């Protein structure tokens, strides 16, 4: 299909402030990054979600194929079953990706990782004042625990990554000391965890500038930084992108943005944005829809129709003005060619459709290119299409919507309070004092 504007003309017609801002601020932006995905670990912590071993293997292999470099798959110390799952995933010998297991800074957790045959692990600990008080630990005690754990892990042959959980609510002096202790003990990467998603791009930039200046830059060797964000205020992707711009080369992601509470930074959004601003992610963007659909199926958590990149309506148009402009050139109302991410644009006919979109439908859907249809007839068709859409019963639509909502409740149902106490009562009744037992 030929468009109104040539490639050369578009260079002058589209102003890209992303390029302008990055160039003028003279930032030391990474030319490439490595995607560290948490779908099989943090993502599985989405309420009511659990994955079978076969599902984890399939998702891990898909991520490996599309270019994900690090895949966190579980917490071996949690249970024998979890350890066995992690060990099985390690034995799959993925071609490109490295399998990660997580551990608290405890010998028993690290030993569980040894038993799972892992070669690389993530050691984490919550370090903010509220957690220190909850765990009854002083700052210097935490530093000692971190040092001993990382030394123990490296002595046992592990490549270690350190994650400062809830680091974005930690006093900077302790945050700095934690990172320095982790690096000196042998951690090869450091990750800042925005565990409750409270950062904004502005504060993300501020924190990483300080971490670089006061922790990383003074070192003789360059320590890679990572960023782990949550989406409680809808800023996980924005904060992750900001972290990369500030020098993070290991952004954490979850497919479809799944994860605890409001979720994590969505893999498909993060990598597409980074590629668009010129940062190589190593990801095969065309396979993002496939990965998204498989993950959606296994998680049983339907995506919003307007979900960026992979949502049903992400590259869909109904407005007559929009469609007319897109027929001149897609970049008028699309930021990228949908083919780049394995998608195709769709035109919908309805209340907001105009003459050009109806004509386009006649040409594409009904194959009447050889007919010279008068303008008056086109207008009649437009009127009829709009009328048909507006006459669709809102009552029927609402009924279908409510049925869908009810079915969604069924697939996302966990164990409620009533069921929980029925289970407790079943087993704990012999231990209940007589005074609390119901009277006959």
In tens, the pLDDT along 173-187 reads 999 999 999 999 999
Considering the domain boundaries, does residue 11 fall inside one? no
Considering the domain boundaries, does residue 42 fall inside one? yes
- When pLDDT is cut at 50, 70 and 90, the band that residue 358 belongs to is low
Residues 98 and 206 in one domain: yes
Owning domain of residue 367: 316-390
Q: Which of 236, 266, 299 is the last residue of a domain?
A: 299
Q: Which of 246, 265, 299 is the last residue of a domain?
A: 299
Residues 220 and 348 in one domain: no
Residues 281 and 327 in one domain: no
Residues 84 and 166 in one domain: yes
Considering the domain boundaries, does residue 401 fall inside one? no
Residues 133 and 179 in one domain: yes
- Using the predicted structure, report yes or no on whether residue 413 has a pLDDT greater than 80: no
In tens, the pLDDT along 266-284 reads 999 999 999 999 999 999 9
137 or 401, greater pLDDT: 137
Residues 362 and 287 in one domain: no
In tens, the pLDDT along 193-226 reads 999 999 999 999 999 999 999 999 999 889 999 9
Average pLDDT over residues 362-368: 51
Residues 70 and 195 in one domain: yes
% of the chain beyond a pLDDT of 90 = 62
Considering the domain boundaries, does residue 82 fall inside one? yes
Q: Which of 266, 299, 332 is the last residue of a domain?
A: 299
335 or 241, greater pLDDT: 241
DSSP category for residue 222:
P
306 or 414, greater pLDDT: 306
Residues 337 and 293 in one domain: no
**Stated pTM of the model:** 0.84
Residues 295 and 246 in one domain: yes
- Residue 10: the pLDDT is 77
Average pLDDT over residues 387-402: 68
* Whole-angstrom distance, CA of residue 145 vs CA of residue 347: 59
Considering the domain boundaries, does residue 424 fall inside one? no
CATH code at position 85: 3.20.20.70
- Report the range out of 309-313, 342-346, 377-381, 407-411 with the highest average pLDDT: 309-313
Lowest mean pLDDT segment, chosen from 17-26, 30-39, 331-340: 331-340
In tens, the pLDDT along 155-177 reads 999 999 999 999 999 999 999 99
Instruction: Say what the alpha-carbon torsion angle 175, 263, 291, 330 is, to the nearest 10 degrees.
Output: -100
Considering the domain boundaries, does residue 6 fall inside one? no
Considering the domain boundaries, does residue 176 fall inside one? yes
Residues 157 and 245 in one domain: yes
Residues 232 and 130 in one domain: yes
For 239-302, the DSSP string reads HHHHHHHTT-SEEEEBGGG--STT-B-BHHHHHHHHHHTT-B----GGGHHHHHHHHHHHHT-P
- Residue 368: the pLDDT is 45
- Specify which residues 189 forms β-bridges with: 161
- Residue 369: the pLDDT is 47
Contact 125/146 with Cβ under 8 angstroms? yes
Considering the domain boundaries, does residue 426 fall inside one? no
Tell me, letter by letter, the H, E, C secondary structure of 25-54: CCCCCCCECCCEECCCCCHHHCCCCCCCHH
Number of folded domains that form the chain: 2
**Contacts of residue 216, Cβ cutoff 8 Å, sequence gap at least 6:** 222, 223, 225, 247
User: SS3 of 371, please?
Assistant: coil
Residues 267 and 350 in one domain: no
In tens, the pLDDT along 271-327 reads 999 999 999 999 999 999 999 999 999 999 999 999 999 998 888 766 555 555 655
């Amino acid at each position: 299909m030929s468009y109104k504007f040539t490639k050369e003309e578009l260079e002058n017609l589209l102003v890209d402030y992303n390029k302008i801002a990055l160039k003028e601020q003279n930032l030391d932006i990474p030319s490439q990054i490595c995607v560290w995905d948490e779908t099989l670990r943090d993502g599985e912590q989405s309420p009511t979600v659990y994955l079978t071993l076969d599902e984890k293997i399939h998702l891990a292999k898909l991520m490996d194929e599309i270019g994900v470099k690090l895949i966190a798959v579980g917490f071996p110390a949690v249970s024998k079953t979890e350890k066995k799952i992690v060990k099985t995933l390690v034995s799959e010998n993925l071609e490109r990706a490295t399998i990660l297991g997580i551990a608290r800074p405890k010998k028993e957790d690290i030993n569980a990782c040894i038993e799972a045959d892992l070669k690389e692990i993530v050691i984490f600990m919550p370090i903010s004042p509220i957690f220190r008080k909850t765990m009854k630990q002083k700052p210097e005690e935490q530093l000692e625990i971190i040092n001993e754990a990382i030394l123990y892990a490296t002595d046992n042959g592990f490549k270690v990554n350190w994650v400062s959980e809830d680091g974005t609510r930690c006093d900077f002096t302790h945050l700095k000391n934690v990172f320095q202790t982790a690096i000196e003990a042998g951690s090869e990467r450091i990750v800042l965890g925005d565990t409750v998603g409270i950062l904004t791009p502005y504060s993300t930039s501020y924190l990483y500038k300080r971490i670089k200046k006061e922790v990383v830059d003074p070192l003789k060797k360059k320590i890679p930084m990572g960023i782990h964000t949550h989406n409680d205020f809808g800023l996980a992707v924005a904060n992750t992108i900001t972290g990369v711009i500030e020098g993070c080369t290991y952004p954490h992601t979850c497919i479809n943005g799944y994860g605890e509470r409001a979720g994590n930074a969505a893999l498909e959004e993060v990598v597409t944005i980074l590629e668009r601003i010129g940062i190589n992610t190593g990801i095969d963007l065309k396979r993002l829809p496939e990965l998204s659909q498989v993950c959606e199926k296994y998680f049983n958590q339907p995506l919003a129709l307007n979900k960026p990149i992979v949502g049903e309506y992400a590259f869909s148009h109904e407005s007559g003005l929009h469609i007319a402009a897109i027929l001149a050139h897609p970049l008028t109302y699309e930021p990228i060619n949908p083919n780049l991410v394995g998608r195709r644009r769709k035109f919908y006919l309805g209340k907001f459709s105009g003459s050009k979109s109806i004509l386009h439908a006649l040409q594409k859907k009904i194959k009447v290119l050889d007919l010279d249809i008068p303008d008056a007839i086109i207008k009649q068709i437009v009127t009829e299409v709009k009328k048909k859409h507006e006459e669709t019963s809102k009552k029927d639509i609402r009924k279908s919507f409510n049925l869908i909502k009810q079915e969604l409740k069924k697939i996302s149902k966990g164990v409620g309070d009533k069921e929980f106490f029925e289970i407790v009562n079943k087993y704990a009744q012999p231990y209940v004092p007589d005074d609390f037992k119901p009277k006959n």
